[in-house]
A and B are shown apart, each in its own frame.
Chain A
């Protein structure tokens, strides 16, 4: 199996967990390994009980692990909680005042983290002292640590960080436990990306030129990405007064010819729903990134869930076609955001990118080859391509075979562009004519049929038939893949299906796959089995059951594998 080490840094918000977590990931890459980092954080600005877990392997890692092998605790008050998630042979390094609960556990090693940090120059460097300790435990040379630190910090602060890491390493030297040393491996340049960053980059690479949003976890990271990475490619970002404004702005920009998007979470998406419907009616291409978190209402703002699948599929009054994509990795977040931009414009439909807090905040290393600069195919018509009536008036909603009407933009000399949220005639003016109504409904629905022809097929891994099939959508992709490996290693031949598109639903393909396995289980971060219901509605097949998790935390491969075994 090779090396598989799970490192966890715990502490309060504001103690630099993110910095040290990022540093450990870079150290993994620098030594030729791969990592998967997840965050578990509370909805607060300072304090609380947060953790940043970095799992290091020799192969690319796409899931976290429940138990940590090495934990650096920057706040010893959390010890009992930490010990419950520490591996039997693991260690917990912390500053430990006498008499702290849990201090008798043999896995606990007391280290003067704060003292070392102060002697390096500042108590805030305790996190870097911790990184030095971990690096030594993994057998990473101090020189490598310093080279990586030099990429992050400069000047006097870099020097202090170097000292902090060195002090941590020297302290650890006589105490290094066996079994955690990373084997030698060749360095390869790797992309380092979080799900939210990858999604924003994919949208920018897909030609997104306007984005608006109102901050809401976990969608804010996408907005941040768009506002930072977008402007160099001509994207204009606007912080909206509310989510209603955000999507109406994006639709306005889309009308003016810009590829446009918004990003939010469930509550914000709820506010956008009327505008989603207007995008359906105006046939305005627009992309909505929906980062799910547990609800209802405010729910658990910083945790993960997949409770908005049914909502995303049905949101918006009236009937209109939509595309709903569910990326399962940073690579897919990038690729599908680009795909969303292309398809949304090609078929003039709203597209929802369904992600969640887990994928949003998951950081991994990835192959640069998986992040190509794909072509952007604009479909705006000009001049003679513009469909007109006998009087020369532009027919924004010209009836066509596949329902897609050539889109021109306002400002084009000789024509005016008329769009209306009322039912409208081909030239865009409101109408109450029932025959026109029927023609327009049919036109919009034909776009849905055309869209269906380009449905991304589900991804099947494992034996082509047999006993167990695990089915998931979105962020569970990596977890299910590894659960399948665990099951296979244990003699249970399992296959996995990952749905990266849920609307239009790949009904034919899923139906055909379901037929080949005795037991089919959906794996979903919700209580009610929304994917199982969707499969039944779309294929007429019942799955055997649902492995569900709704505590606000992501699945781990062990979770899924154990629960599959329980069901056999």
Chain B
């Protein structure tokens, strides 16, 4: 595929990596938004997934491991006219950045968050991630993961996230469609993407996901939060993909935060008279 968002940055992913179809989906989705390159910011942390923004010709903030969300929030607050999309891995968003995941869902800024969820730390060579299945024996946990998996969709629904979806890396069209809807959603939108790691995760493979994943039926009522929560817990037998939950519209964080808005922060002036007024408040004079 070649398109307006291509870059010539050398790719560092393994052949067959689930990041390739996710990259295709991201570019398709961004094209469908109709936004110009300069209006979009891709924000990521660290990991193989977090390298994705380098392959999309838009504004890029590739920050620290786990810290994509605080940076994305502030970019959105500084300039709400930008379309801010976070794209990073499960270890990054759910592990290292777990606290920011929790609190930014509470804040509800208008940011779409795409999590490449391959249930493994790939770049550091095969350690279990927060979403690894219990019993899976990766590097550093050779006797098998003891801790229960972090349930991203259930957690997001419980925390009040207004758009909770699951994509499937191998289904580019389907996932791109979820991404378009996530970007269009006004508020924090999560798309957790089932992604095979062809090198380190020999359990959750393309074939395994192909067998386990099923598309939510057209009559699924995404407004039913309790039903969405129930669906978000399905994993052992089969795994639902699609929009599990979509709340009614509510104003996003940056619309509620006093002071955020026009003009963007970079264009705000500091008039000397306003500074003098501020200083005058500290001046003690007798009436």
Q: Which residues of A contact B (CB under 8 A)?
A: 26, 29-30, 147-148, 150-151, 187, 189-193, 197, 201, 204-207, 209-210, 212, 229, 231-238, 240-242, 244-246, 248-253, 255-258, 260, 274-275, 278, 282, 365, 368, 371, 373, 375-376, 380, 409-422, 428-430
A189 to B285, CA, bound (A): 5
Q: A232-B274, A234-B268, A236-B77 given as contacts; is B60 within 8 A of A256 (CB)?
A: no
Task: Determine whether the beta carbon of B274 is less than 8 Å from that of A411.
Answer: no
Q: Which of B59, B71, B271 contacts A417 (CB 8 A)?
A: B59
Contacts of A249 in B (CB 8 A): 70-71, 73-74
21 contacts between A and B (CB under 8 A): A30-B284, A189-B283, A192-B284, A209-B265, A232-B278, A233-B271, A244-B67, A248-B74, A249-B74, A256-B266, A257-B267, A258-B78, A278-B67, A373-B279, A410-B41, A411-B79, A416-B38, A416-B60, A419-B60, A421-B63, A430-B51
Q: A189-B285, A205-B270, A418-B60 given as contacts; is B71 within 8 A of A255 (CB)?
A: yes
A375 to B43, CA, bound (A): 33
B36 beta carbon closer than 8 Å to chain A:
yes
Q: Which of B144-152, B205-213, B222-230, B256-264 contacts A (4 or more CB under 8 A)?
A: B256-264
Mark interface residues in B246-262 (1 if CB within 8 Å of A CB, else 0): 00000000000111100
Q: Inter-chain contact count A-B, CB under 8 Å? A: 213
Q: Which residues of B contact A (CB under 8 A)?
A: 7, 9, 36-39, 41, 43, 46, 51, 54, 57-64, 67, 69-75, 77-79, 81-82, 99-100, 102-103, 257-260, 264-279, 282-287
Q: A233-B274, A428-B60 given as contacts; is B79 within 8 A of A256 (CB)?
A: yes
Q: Which of B38, B57, B69, B102 contacts A410 (CB 8 A)?
A: B38
Task: Determine whether the beta carbon of B99 is less than 8 Å from that of A420.
Answer: no
Contacts of B9 in A (CB 8 A): 429-430
Task: Determine whether the beta carbon of A236 is less than 8 Å from that of B265.
Answer: yes
Residue in B277, B284, B287 whose Cβ sees the most chain A Cβ within 10 Å: B284
Task: Determine whether the beta carbon of B54 is less than 8 Å from that of A429.
Answer: yes
**Considering only CB atoms, which chain A residue lies closest to B102 in the complex?**
A241
Q: A197-B282, A412-B38, A413-B36 given as contacts; is B287 within 8 A of A256 (CB)?
A: no
A150 to B38, CA, bound (A): 55
Q: Which of A209, A237, A252, A282 contacts B73 (CB 8 A)?
A: A252
A337 to B99, CA, bound (A): 30
Please report whether the interface of chain A is mostly helix, strand, loop or mixed according to DSSP: mixed
A410 to B200, CA, bound (A): 36
Task: Determine whether the beta carbon of B278 is less than 8 Å from that of A257.
Answer: no
Task: Determine whether the beta carbon of A419 is less than 8 Å from that of B265.
Answer: no
B94, chain A: closest CB distance, angstroms: 15
Residue in A192, A248, A376 whose Cβ sees the most chain B Cβ within 10 Å: A248
A337, chain B: closest CB distance, angstroms: 12
Q: A189-B284, A430-B62 given as contacts; is B78 within 8 A of A256 (CB)?
A: yes
Contacts of B69 in A (CB 8 A): 245
Q: A209-B265, A233-B278 given as contacts; is B71 within 8 A of A365 (CB)?
A: no
A255 to B279, CA, bound (A): 29
Task: Determine whether the beta carbon of B67 is less than 8 Å from that of A410.
Answer: no
A148 to B285, CA, bound (A): 10
Contacts of A252 in B (CB 8 A): 43, 61, 63, 70-75, 78
A221, chain B: closest CB distance, angstroms: 14
Contacts of A428 in B (CB 8 A): 60
A213, chain B: closest CB distance, angstroms: 12
Task: Determine whether the beta carbon of A210 is less than 8 Å from that of B78.
Answer: yes
**Considering only CB atoms, which chain B residue lies closest to A282 in the complex?**
B63
Contacts of A256 in B (CB 8 A): 74-75, 78-79, 82, 264-266
Task: Determine whether the beta carbon of A201 is less than 8 Å from that of B59.
Answer: no
- The 7 residue pairs across chains A and B that have the minimum distance between CB atoms: A257-B266, A252-B71, A252-B74, A258-B265, A256-B78, A373-B272, A410-B59
Task: Determine whether the beta carbon of B275 is less than 8 Å from that of A204.
Answer: yes
A531 to B58, CA, bound (A): 46
Q: A253-B78, A255-B75, A410-B79 given as contacts; is B279 within 8 A of A278 (CB)?
A: no
Task: Determine whether the beta carbon of B282 is less than 8 Å from that of A191.
Answer: yes
A417 to B267, CA, bound (A): 17
A207 to B73, CA, bound (A): 21
Task: Determine whether the beta carbon of B283 is less than 8 Å from that of A368.
Answer: yes
Task: Determine whether the beta carbon of B266 is less than 8 Å from that of A258.
Answer: yes
**Considering only CB atoms, which chain B residue lies closest to A244 in the complex?**
B67
A191 to B281, CA, bound (A): 9
A330, chain B: closest CB distance, angstroms: 10
A416 to B99, CA, bound (A): 30
Q: A151-B287, A234-B259, A244-B70 given as contacts; is B270 within 8 A of A210 (CB)?
A: no
A204 to B279, CA, bound (A): 11
Task: Determine whether the beta carbon of A193 is less than 8 Å from that of B282.
Answer: yes
A494, chain B: closest CB distance, angstroms: 34
Further contacts, 20 of them, CB under 8 A, given A205-B270, A380-B266, A411-B81 = A30-B284, A148-B286, A151-B287, A191-B283, A233-B274, A233-B275, A238-B257, A244-B99, A245-B100, A250-B74, A256-B264, A257-B267, A274-B64, A282-B63, A373-B272, A373-B273, A376-B269, A416-B60, A421-B64, A422-B62
Task: Determine whether the beta carbon of B275 is less than 8 Å from that of A373.
Answer: yes
Contacts of B279 in A (CB 8 A): 191, 201, 205, 368, 371, 373
A375 to B269, CA, bound (A): 11
A375 to B282, CA, bound (A): 20
A282 to B276, CA, bound (A): 34
Residue in B7, B61, B272, B273 whose Cβ sees the most chain A Cβ within 10 Å: B61
Task: Determine whether the beta carbon of A419 is less than 8 Å from that of B37.
Answer: no
Task: Determine whether the beta carbon of A229 is less than 8 Å from that of B64.
Answer: no
**Considering only CB atoms, which chain B residue lies closest to A229 in the complex?**
B278
Residue in A204, A235, A236, A274 whose Cβ sees the most chain B Cβ within 10 Å: A236
Task: Determine whether the beta carbon of A415 is less than 8 Å from that of B38.
Answer: yes
Q: Which of A29, A192, A210 contacts B74 (CB 8 A)?
A: A210
A169 to B48, CA, bound (A): 74
